[in-house]
Amino acid sequence: MAETATGSSTLPITVEFTGGLELLFGNERKHNVALPAQLKDGSQPNISYLLGYLVDNLMQDQRKDMFIMEDNVRPGVLVLINDADWELEGEEMYELQKGDNIVFVSTLHGG
Amino acid sequence: MRARDDLSMENLEDSCASLRTQIAAIEAQLEGLKRDLANAEAAVKSEADSTGKPHEGQNDAGNRWPLLPEEYKRYGRQMIVSQIGLRGQLKLRAAKVLLVGAGGLGCPAAQYLAGAGIGTLGLIDGDTVEISNLHRQVLHRGKNVGKYKVDSAIEALRELNPHPTYIAHRTHLTPEEAPAIFEKYDLILDCTDNPATRYLISDTAVLMGKSLVSASALRTEGQLIVLNNPPRRPGEKDGGPCYRCVFPKPPPADSVVSCADGGIIGPVVGTMGVLQALEAIKVLTAPETDTAADGSAPHEAPVMQIFSAFSNPQFRSIRIRSRRANCAVCSAEASVTLDTIASGSTDYVFFCGSATASSLLGPDERVSPEEYREKHPLINTRTNGEPEGSHTVIDVRDKAQFGICNLENSINIPISNFLASAPLSTADLKASQLPSWLPSELASPESNEPIYVVCRLGNDSQIAVKKMKELGLDRNGQRYIGDIRGGFRAWREQLDPDWPEY
C-alpha cells in the first residue's frame, strides 16, 4: 500500500456530489480529498484515477454501478471540472491540479 | 329503473360537457386567428413606421397603437424594462409556446408566460389533478382534484390573463403525435418527469427546428438547460446542443427517482419552472443577432444551471459542450429522424428501459399484511398467558418517513445501512463481525424470533431480507426472516385504513 504514493506530497482537491449521488457517499455533498501528487508510475493522478479512488475510499453504498459502469461514470452523471463539463477539459484523462473542484452531478428527471 | 335514468342523465351531461369543450376550443381558435390578424396588421404598421413615414393623425384609430389600451397597462411594467420594450412585447404576443407537462414545472412556467402576454400557450398532459400535487403545482385548486391538469391549469390561467389563446392537449405526448403538435408552436418547454419523454421532446424539437427550455427537479435540487438554441438543422454545427449531445445514453432505469418516491420541495421545482419562463421570454425576445463579418452569428456558450436549495452558493452555472459531432439526432450522422420516431423504430421506452420488476424473494419469504396479522394478532388475549408470537418488525424506510408514521415497537434501520454494508466473508461471520447498525438483540445467537421487514411499497424490504440472510441472521433457516408484501401501502388497504397515505 505504501507504494501508491512515491512522492511525499499530496494533491488536495475538493469533490462534490449532487443530484442524489451524495446518497452513495454517506449523504455528504462536499469532501476534501488528498490524492498522492504522483503515482507510482510517475504520472499525475487524472480523473480516471480519481474515479477508482472514490469508489475504493469514499463510496459507502455497495451498488458501485450506481456511480461507475465499465470503468467510467455511469450514463446520466455529468462530471464538472471547475464548473465546466469535463468534455471541455479532456474527460477522464484530465490531470488534476491542486485545488481543483470536481463535481459529480446526477441528472434529475422529476418535474 | 332509477339507475338507468341516472345513467342516461349522466350520458347527456357528458355530451353537454363535451360540446361545451368543443365550442370553447373553437372559440379559442377563433380568438387566436383574430389575434394573428391583429399582429399581422401591427407588423405591417410597424414596418411602415420604421421606414420613417409618420402616422400621426391617421384616421383609423384602431390601427394607431399596436396593443390594446388594457395591454399597455397590463404589460407596462415589463415593457419599460429595456430588454423587453414594445418590440419584445409584440414578439411575446406573436409567440406560440408549448409546455409539455402541467405539473410542478409547468404550472409556474405557464403562470408567468400567461402573465407576460404570450399569444398562444399550449399545454399537454394526460394526467388528472391529485391532492398530492397541490403543494407544488400552484395553478391547480383543490376543487379541481380529478380534473385534467391542462383544463385545471387553463381555468386558472384564463382568470389571470384572458388575452392569450390557450390550447389544451389532454394526452401524454406520444412519438406518433409529437411532430404534428410541435409544428404549431415556436418554442417548447420540457416540464415532464421521465427520461423517455425528455428524449422524445428533444429529438422532436431538433427535427422540427424549435428551441427547447428543459428543466427538472427532485428533493432539494433542480437543473435547467436551453437546448437547440439557436435552432439549426441536423449537421449544422452552429446550432445549440440537444439533450442527446449532453446525455447520449440514458441513465440506468434503476437510478431514476421520481418526485413521488424521492420527494420534492414545492419552491424548489417552482424555482425551476419560473426560470424556464424567464429563459423562454429571453429566447422569444432576443434581438435578431447581427451576423458577424465571417457570416457566423455570435452566440453565448451553452450553460446548464444547477440549483441546490441547501448548498451555498445555491446556483451554479456550468459550461457545457456544444453539439456532439456524432450525435444521434443533431449531427450529420444522425440516425434518429421524424420517420424513425413516427414509425416507432426509435423506441424511447426500450431506449430508456424500465426499472427491474422487483421480486427478489420467494413466496415463502413474504407475507401479506393480513397473513402477518393472523400470525401476530394485535391484542393477545389467549388464555395461556404466554406472549404468543413474539417477533421483530424492522422498518427500512428512511428516518424522515419513519418519523411520519410507524408501528409501535418496530425498529427503524434505513435501507441505506443495508446498501452500505459489504458482503461479509465467512471469517467475519465466525468472528461475528456484524455491522454496528444492527441491534445486538437481533444479532444475538440466542434469539430465534422471526423478523419481518416492512417499507413503503415492498421493494426495499426485499433487499433488506436478502442482506440479513447474507449476514447469517436466519441461522441457516432456523429463524424466519421475511418481508411484508406491498409494504405500508398494502398495510393500509388490508389492515388499517387510518394509516397515513403520503
Q: How do residues B369-397 score in pLDDT, each as one tens digit? A: 999 999 998 765 444 444 555 899 999 99
From the CA of A45, how many Å to the nearest CA of chain B? 23
CATH code of residue A74: 3.10.20.30
Q: With beta carbons less than 8 A apart as the criterion, state whether A110 and B216 touch.
A: yes
**Hey, what's the cell of B466?**
436478502
Residue A111, domain member (yes or no)? no
Residue A2, domain member (yes or no)? no
User: pLDDT tens-digit profile of B136-187?
Assistant: 999 999 999 999 999 999 999 999 999 999 999 999 999 999 999 999 999 9
Residue A19, domain member (yes or no)? yes
Subunit contact B320:A109, Cβ cutoff 8 A: no
Q: Which of residues 384-443 of B touch A (CB under 8 A)?
A: 416, 419-423
Q: With beta carbons less than 8 A apart as the criterion, state whether B106 and B138 touch.
A: no
Please give the Cα distance from A104 to A58 (Å, whole number). Answer: 13
Provide the CA B486 distance to its chain's centre, in angstroms.
Answer: 25
Which stretches of chain A drop beneath a pLDDT of 70?
1-8
So what's the pLDDT on residue A41? 92
Helix (H, G, I), strand (E, B) or coil at B176: coil
Subunit contact B257:A109, Cβ cutoff 8 A: yes
Specify whether B405 is catalytic: no
Residue A4, domain member (yes or no)? no
So what's the pLDDT on residue B47? 57
Q: With beta carbons less than 8 A apart as the criterion, state whether B233 and B376 touch.
A: no
- B495 interfaces chain A, CB cutoff of 8 Å: no
Count of CB atoms situated within 10 Å of the CB of B226: 23
Subunit contact B217:A111, Cβ cutoff 8 A: yes
**Hey, what's the cell of B373?**
396479522
From the CA of A21, how many Å to the nearest CA of chain B? 10
- A28: containing domain: 10-106
Residue A50, domain member (yes or no)? yes
Q: Which residues of A touch B194 (CB under 8 A)?
A: 109
Residue A15, domain member (yes or no)? yes
Please give the Cα distance from B412 to B394 (Å, whole number). Answer: 6
Total count of domains within chain A: 1
Going by the annotation, the residues of the binding site of B are 104, 125, 132-136, 149, 193-194, 242, 245, 327, 330
Subunit contact B250:A66, Cβ cutoff 8 A: no
Q: Which of residues 18-57 of B touch A (CB under 8 A)?
A: none
Question: Which residue of chain B comes nearest to A58, CA vs CA?
Answer: B420
**Least confident residue range of B16-20, B70-74, B93-97, B109-113:** B16-20
Instruction: Kindly indicate the confidence band of residue B39, based on its pLDDT and cuts at 50, 70 and 90.
Output: low
State yes or no: pLDDT of B135 exceeds 70: yes
Residue A44, domain member (yes or no)? yes
State yes or no: pLDDT of B326 exceeds 90: yes
* Beta bridge partner(s), residue B116: none
Q: Which residues of B touch A27 (CB under 8 A)?
A: 416
Q: Which amino acid is at B220?
A: T
Please give the Cα distance from B34 to A98 (Å, whole number). Answer: 63
Question: Which residue of chain A comes nearest to B249, CA vs CA?
Answer: A75
Residue A1, domain member (yes or no)? no
Subunit contact A108:B251, Cβ cutoff 8 A: no
Owner of C-alpha cell 452558493: B313
Q: Which of residues 293-312 of B touch A (CB under 8 A)?
A: 304, 306, 308, 311
Q: Which residues of A touch B306 (CB under 8 A)?
A: 18, 105
The predicted model scores a pTM of 0.84
Specify whether B107 is catalytic: no
Tell me, what DSSP letter sits at residue B395? E
Q: With beta carbons less than 8 A apart as the criterion, state whether B191 and B223 touch.
A: no
Please give the Cα distance from B443 to B421 (Å, whole number). Answer: 15
Please give the Cα distance from A32 to B247 (Å, whole number). Answer: 28
Residue A84, judged by CB atoms within 10 A of its CB (0-12, 13-18, 19+), counts as: middle
Beta-strand pair B187-190/B211-218: parallel
Helix (H, G, I), strand (E, B) or coil at B128: strand
Q: Which residues of A touch B219 (CB under 8 A)?
A: 20
So what's the pLDDT on residue B466? 93
- B217 interfaces chain A, CB cutoff of 8 Å: yes
Q: With beta carbons less than 8 A apart as the criterion, state whether B102 and B126 touch.
A: no
State yes or no: pLDDT of B7 exceeds 60: no
Subunit contact B250:A19, Cβ cutoff 8 A: no
Residue B465, judged by CB atoms within 10 A of its CB (0-12, 13-18, 19+), counts as: buried
Subunit contact A74:B218, Cβ cutoff 8 A: no
Q: CA dist B352 to A43, A48, B47, B169, B476, Å?
A: 38, 26, 49, 25, 40
From the CA of A66, how many Å to the nearest CA of chain B? 7
Q: CA dist B485 to B112, B147, B413, Å?
A: 45, 32, 18
Subunit contact B257:A60, Cβ cutoff 8 A: no
So what's the pLDDT on residue B14? 75
From the CA of B473, how many Å to the nearest CA of chain A? 20
Over residues B309-323, mean pLDDT: 94
Owner of C-alpha cell 394526460: B126
From the CA of A42, how many Å to the nearest CA of chain B? 31
Helix (H, G, I), strand (E, B) or coil at B124: strand
